[in-house]
């Protein structure tokens, strides 16, 4: 069984504020260490449950992300780092049997969700896929659905996990913290988090074949409300890209992969 693991940093245990998710601080380095341990726990759990090939994508950061600590990576997986903004989701295709997301966060505007945002906390207010507000969890689940790959596990705050469950009721959720405000949470000790992720990853692999992929019917329209009109103005109208309001651009494609590639300017 081949597993794809997308990673992010905002949903990692003990991460609650901005200094922890922007490169250049001791707090950030520490958060990366915890992310690496959480990924390793997921890899361990998945391998123990029968996974035999695991690809992990280092996904946090706008461009060329490198957050996972190379020297501490579990030897049972392969890792993709330095992914360019234009490719998303990197390397995902029909050869996979299941998708996990480790360190996930809820979509922009979710009440009480830790570090909630959609793609860019500075530029994006809301993303809608075929009219329905979605965040990065919905996006990765929908992209996997194009290849008929089920989304089976998520870790993050309670609001992120609830967002995943609303899309895929059977998804295994490792709740690593309980959001109180955007920058405040009731956090679980990291030893507890790692055990939980290991266990849920195993459960997710065991049930993967019985979970239905999350499908978004094509053609797909992705609408993005940017924070300001100049951000929408920067997006050039071309095939499949149309400005529909002062701050809103619609990107269309035969499926979510093609529509979202237009968001990225690919
Ligand atoms: Zn992130």
Q: How close is the Cα of 104 to the center of ligand 1, in Å?
A: 8
Q: How close is the Cα of 13 to the center of ligand 1, in Å?
A: 13
Q: How close is the Cα of 115 to the center of ligand 1, in Å?
A: 9
DSSP 211-257: SPP---PSSEEEEEEESSHHHHHTSPPBTTEEE-SSSEEEEEESSHH
Strands of 184-187's sheet in order across: 78-80, 53-57, 2-7, 98-104, 151-157, 172-181, 184-187
What pLDDT is stored for residue 265 in this prediction? 87
Q: Which superfamily is assigned to 2-104+134-177+187-210 in CATH? A: Dipeptide transport protein (3.40.50.10780)
Q: How close is the Cα of 165 to the center of ligand 1, in Å?
A: 20
How far CA 153 is from CA of 13, 80, 188, in Å, comes to 16, 19, 19
Asked if residues 13 and 38 have their Cβ atoms less than 8 Å apart, the reply is yes
Which residues are catalytically annotated?
117
Q: Could you report the per-residue pLDDT of 125-140, keeping only the tens digit for each? A: 999 999 999 999 999 9
What pLDDT is stored for residue 87 in this prediction? 82
Q: Could you report the per-residue pLDDT of 25-34, keeping only the tens digit for each? A: 999 999 999 9
How is the chain split into domains, by residue range? 2-104+134-177+187-210, 220-263
pLDDT greater than 70 at residue 79 = yes
Q: What is the mean pLDDT of the chain?
A: 96
State percent of the chain over pLDDT 90: 93
Report how far residue 96's alpha carbon sits from residue 142's, in angstroms, rounded to the nearest whole number.
14
pLDDT greater than 70 at residue 63 = no
Q: Which residues contact 159 (CB under 8 A, 6 or more apart)?
A: 106, 110, 111, 112, 113, 114, 116, 179
Report how far residue 10's alpha carbon sits from residue 31's, in angstroms, rounded to the nearest whole number.
9
What pLDDT is stored for residue 48 in this prediction? 98
- Provide the pLDDT confidence category of residue 88 given band limits of 50, 70 and 90: confident
- Provide the pLDDT confidence category of residue 250 given band limits of 50, 70 and 90: very high
pLDDT greater than 90 at residue 85 = no
Asked if residues 152 and 137 have their Cβ atoms less than 8 Å apart, the reply is no
What pLDDT is stored for residue 74 in this prediction? 98
Q: Could you report the per-residue pLDDT of 183-226, keeping only the tens digit for each? A: 999 999 999 999 999 999 999 999 999 999 999 999 999 999 99
Single pTM value for the model: 0.97
Q: How close is the Cα of 260 to the center of ligand 1, in Å?
A: 17
Asked if residues 156 and 162 have their Cβ atoms less than 8 Å apart, the reply is no
Omega of the bond leading into 89 within 30 degrees of 0 (cis) = yes
Q: How close is the Cα of 52 to the center of ligand 1, in Å?
A: 27
Q: How close is the Cα of 211 to the center of ligand 1, in Å?
A: 26
Q: Which residues contact 112 (CB under 8 A, 6 or more apart)?
A: 159, 179, 180, 181, 182
């Amino acid at each position: 069984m081949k597993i794809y693991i997308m990673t992010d940093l905002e949903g990692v245990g003990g991460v609650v504020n901005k200094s922890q998710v922007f490169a250049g601080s001791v707090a950030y380095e520490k958060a990366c260490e915890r992310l690496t341990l959480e990924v390793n726990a997921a890899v361990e759990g998945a391998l123990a449950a029968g996974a035999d090939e695991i690809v992990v994508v280092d996904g946090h950061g706008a461009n060329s992300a490198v957050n996972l600590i190379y020297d501490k990576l579990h030897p049972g997986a392969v890792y993709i780092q330095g992914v360019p903004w234009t490719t998303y989701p990197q390397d995902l295709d029909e050869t996979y049997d299941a998708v996990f997301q480790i360190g996930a966060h809820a979509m922009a505007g979710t009440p009480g969700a830790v570090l909630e945002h959609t793609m860019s906390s500075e530029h994006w207010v809301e993303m809608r896929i075929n009219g329905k507000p979605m965040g990065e969890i919905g996006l990765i689940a929908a992209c996997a659905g194009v290849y008929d790959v089920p989304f089976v596990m998520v870790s993050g705050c309670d609001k992120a996990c609830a967002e995943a469950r609303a899309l895929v009721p059977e998804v295994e959720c490792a709740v690593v913290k309980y959001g109180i405000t955007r920058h405040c949470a009731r956090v679980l000790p990291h030893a507890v988090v790692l055990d939980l992720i290991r266990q849920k990853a195993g459960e997710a692999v065991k049930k993967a074949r019985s979970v239905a992929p999350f499908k978004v019917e094509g053609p797909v329209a992705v609408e993005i409300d940017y924070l300001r009109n100049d951000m929408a103005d920067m997006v050039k109208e071309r095939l499949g890209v149309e400005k529909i309001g002062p701050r809103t651009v619609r990107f269309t494609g035969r499926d979510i992969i093609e529509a979202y590639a237009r968001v990225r300017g690919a």
